């Protein structure tokens, strides 16, 4: 093995693909060390960072930007580049610096910095130990796993929902192994001479099941497709087997139904293989890697709640970013999508609240709501939350301090009205900016996780009076008011493998609190009989594939509360849930704004 690698590297030197003698520090690039986060100092540090980077048009920026250095383990670091004004949730591209290259020089000379500036992506560059070159693959295996894990962890910088990977040479094969071991986390990858992976590893790793003692998916690692570009200066048995491994995953009989909600075309050309020698430092190589990866996007932590999709092109039109200052004096931003094919028409409006530690851009990209909007003619509004400390329930706190995140304020009793005010002002701002587009009689509210909590919360307030219907995924009731006096239909989904129990038969849980609130609010039960009404409706659950549906109707037969738990689903918003929200729920409801009366397929509900 070592002999063949030595021969391989000798060939790369001869081809000019590795530049000898370039291990001196870059004079042009200075890296700032990310600080140690100390809980007692966190508030002051975050305010200082926010003062540097928060802008009216980017209220949740990455709180560190520029050239950065992150500690990975004792004596080991990685380099980062975060472009100016990058929002939280931007996608990361993790790569190894090629042998013999200085990280700063490589980031600049390869064109990766320019690509990051152009595309709004963040670079995470693995590097050898200071004062030495890369060790053997055996010596570097733990570092590579730890470094990519640190990139995804988001302690200082909140990354996107998946990651892009680029591997160069022998160390790059470790990055490719990471993709094989964590396929549901990789949006796309490019590997240059990084496929020296033996058949025994492919067989052993591919057979690993995602099943655990408590979660059953029936899926192994080799069955999960990943968009991969493989380039090798020379082919051998190992490189051919690696190509075959990825190709088999893309062609698996279940791959489309499990992982590609936009259809078979997404996976059709998702494995590209070339026998060609690339200069790792060339901008042409960087262009080739990004041109392939930039086609694809991935969302979802769960195995059967995971989606590979086409990457949305913000340049194609339809997306606008709006900023305003709300009644509390807080600068706010929201994203609007209006399908160009429906210009000049009044459209229904879906307002979608993102989850914790994510962003409006992430939620817009994750949900594929824009495909529904294009097909049905819908105006989409994705509000951005503000930066606040991470509650201990989300992993923050003294023992594990984490940089501020984009969160809704509903978990803090002293602040929960903050986003109630924002929600009211947002609807006013939409009306002011889009008076000839937004149909106020067909406005709908949705959200996922903490965005679902926001939907429950707003449902308990008089903001709900402005929505024809509400519907949200994977979130319990965290706070409520008593000002929401109108009947507002609600569809609520939870997952079998969610963060909270989906079982409505239990005596007490935050999810049951949500169900009880909607049942009483919509006059389907009262405080005395709500538990009995809830259990009776839940006992009549109807199963249809992965969907387990319970419905509570009014006296005249209108469905006013619908509850669905999804089998084999994790705490993720699946695009199919949003299709269900629109097709079976929102599109059936409208409201006369002057009377507040809602209609289900033309039948008045009072």
For position 405, which CATH number holds?
A: 3.40.50
Are 306 and 320 in the same domain?
no
Question: Is there a domain that residue 400 lies in?
Answer: yes
* DSSP annotation string for 35-70: PPP-HHHHHHHHHHHHHHH-BTTBSSB-SS-EEEEE
Q: Tens digit of pLDDT for each residue in 144-185?
A: 999 999 999 999 999 999 999 999 999 999 999 999 999 999
Round to whole Å and give the CA distance between 136 and 144. Answer: 12
Are 131 and 207 in the same domain?
yes
End-to-end alpha carbon distance in the chain: 76
Are 185 and 250 in the same domain?
yes
Are 189 and 241 in the same domain?
yes
* Boundary (domain end) residue, out of 264, 292, 310: 310
Predicted local confidence at residue 413, as pLDDT: 74
Question: Is there a domain that residue 559 lies in?
Answer: no
The parent domain of residue 415 ranges over 314-488+574-605
Predicted local confidence at residue 411, as pLDDT: 80
Are 423 and 275 in the same domain?
no
Are 470 and 342 in the same domain?
yes
Q: What is the CATH number of the domain that holds 128?
A: 3.40.50.1820
Question: Is there a domain that residue 495 lies in?
Answer: no
* Boundary (domain end) residue, out of 262, 293, 310: 310
Round to whole Å and give the CA distance between 283 and 110. Answer: 5
Predicted local confidence at residue 27, as pLDDT: 52
Q: Is 258 helix (H, G, I), strand (E, B) or coil?
A: helix
DSSP code of 209? B
Question: Is there a domain that residue 283 lies in?
Answer: yes
pLDDT averaged over consecutive 10-residue blocks of the chain (606 residues)? 34 35 54 95 95 95 98 96 97 97 97 98 97 94 98 95 98 98 98 97 98 97 98 94 98 98 98 97 98 96 95 93 96 96 94 96 97 98 93 77 92 84 98 96 98 97 97 96 96 97 88 97 96 96 97 94 98 97 98 94 90
Are 291 and 337 in the same domain?
no
Round to whole Å and give the CA distance between 154 and 151. Answer: 7
Are 376 and 261 in the same domain?
no
Question: Is there a domain that residue 336 lies in?
Answer: yes
H or E segment and range at residue 137:
helix 137-153
Predicted local confidence at residue 300, as pLDDT: 83
* DSSP annotation string for 399-431: SS----EEE-GGGSTTTHHHHHHHHHHHHHHHH
Are 330 and 293 in the same domain?
no
Q: Is 352 helix (H, G, I), strand (E, B) or coil?
A: strand
Predicted local confidence at residue 362, as pLDDT: 97
Are 306 and 381 in the same domain?
no
Are 384 and 476 in the same domain?
yes
Predicted local confidence at residue 5, as pLDDT: 36
Are 342 and 420 in the same domain?
yes
Number of domains comprising the chain: 2
């Amino acid at each position: 093995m070592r002999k063949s690698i030595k021969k391989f590297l000798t060939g790369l030197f001869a081809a000019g693909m590795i530049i000898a003698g370039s291990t001196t520090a870059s004079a042009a690039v200075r890296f700032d060390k990310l600080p140690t986060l100390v809980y007692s100092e966190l508030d002051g540090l975050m305010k200082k960072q926010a003062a540097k980077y928060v802008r009216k048009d980017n209220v949740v920026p990455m709180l560190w930007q520029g050239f950065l250095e992150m500690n990975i383990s004792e004596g080991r670091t990685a380099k980062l580049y975060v472009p100016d004004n990058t929002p939280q949730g931007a996608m990361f591209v993790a790569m190894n610096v090629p042998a013999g290259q200085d990280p700063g020089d490589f980031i600049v000379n390869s064109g990766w910095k320019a690509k990051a500036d152009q595309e709004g992506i963040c670079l995470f560059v693995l590097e050898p130990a200071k004062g030495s070159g890369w060790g053997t693959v055996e010596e570097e295996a733990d570092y590579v796993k730890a470094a990519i894990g640190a990139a995804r962890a988001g302690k200082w910088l909140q990354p996107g929902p998946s990651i892009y990977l680029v591997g160069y040479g022998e160390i790059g094969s470790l990055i490719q192994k990471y993709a094989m071991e964590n396929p549901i986390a990789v949006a796309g990858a490019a590997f240059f001479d990084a496929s020296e992976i033996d058949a025994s590893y492919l067989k052993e790793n591919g057979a690993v099941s995602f099943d655990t003692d408590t979660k059953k998916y029936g899926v192994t690692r080799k069955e999960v497709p990943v968009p991969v570009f493989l380039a090798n200066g020379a082919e051998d048995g190992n490189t051919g087997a690696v190509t075959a491994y990825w190709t088999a995953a893309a062609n698996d009989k279940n791959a489309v139904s499990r992982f590609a909600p936009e259809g078979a075309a997404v996976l059709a050309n998702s494995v590209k293989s070339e026998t060609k020698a690339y200069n790792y430092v060339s901008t042409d190589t960087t262009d080739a890697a990004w041109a392939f990866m930039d086609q694809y996007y991935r969302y979802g932590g769960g195995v059967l709640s995971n989606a590979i999709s086409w990457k949305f092109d913000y340049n194609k039109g339809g997306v606008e970013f709006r900023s305003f200052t709300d009644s509390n004096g807080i600068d706010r931003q929201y994203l609007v999508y209006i399908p160009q094919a429906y210009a000049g028409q009044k459209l229904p409006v879906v307002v979608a609240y993102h989850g914790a530690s994510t962003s409006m851009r992430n939620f817009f990209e994750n949900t594929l709501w824009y495909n529904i909007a294009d097909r049905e003619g819908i105006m989409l509004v994705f509000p951005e939350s503000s930066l606040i400390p991470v509650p201990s329930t989300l992993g923050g706190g003294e023992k594990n301090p984490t940089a501020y995140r984009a969160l809704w304020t509903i978990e803090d009793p002293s602040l929960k009205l903050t986003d109630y005010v924002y929600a009211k002002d947002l609807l006013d701002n939409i009306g002011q900016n889009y008076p000839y587009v937004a149909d106020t009689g067909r406005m709908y509210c949705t959200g996922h996780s903490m965005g679902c909590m926001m939907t429950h919360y707003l449902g308990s307030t008089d903001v709900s009076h402005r929505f024809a219907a509400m519907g949200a995924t994977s979130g319990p009731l965290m706070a409520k008011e008593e000002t929401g006096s109108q009947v507002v239909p609600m569809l609520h989904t939870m997952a079998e493998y969610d963060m909270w129990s989906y079982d409505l038969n239990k005596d007490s849980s935050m999810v049951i609190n949500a169900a009880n609130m909607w049942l009483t609010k919509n006059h389907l039960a009262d405080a005395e009989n709500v538990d009995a009404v809830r259990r009776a409706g839940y006992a009549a659950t109807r199963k249809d594939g992965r969907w387990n549906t319970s419905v509570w109707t009014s006296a005249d037969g209108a469905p006013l509360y619908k509850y669905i738990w999804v089998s084999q689903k994790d705490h993720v918003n699946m695009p199919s849930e949003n299709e269900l929200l629109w097709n079976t729920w929102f599109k059936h409801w409208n409201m006369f704004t002057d009377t507040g009366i809602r209609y289900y397929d033309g039948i008045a509900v009072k």
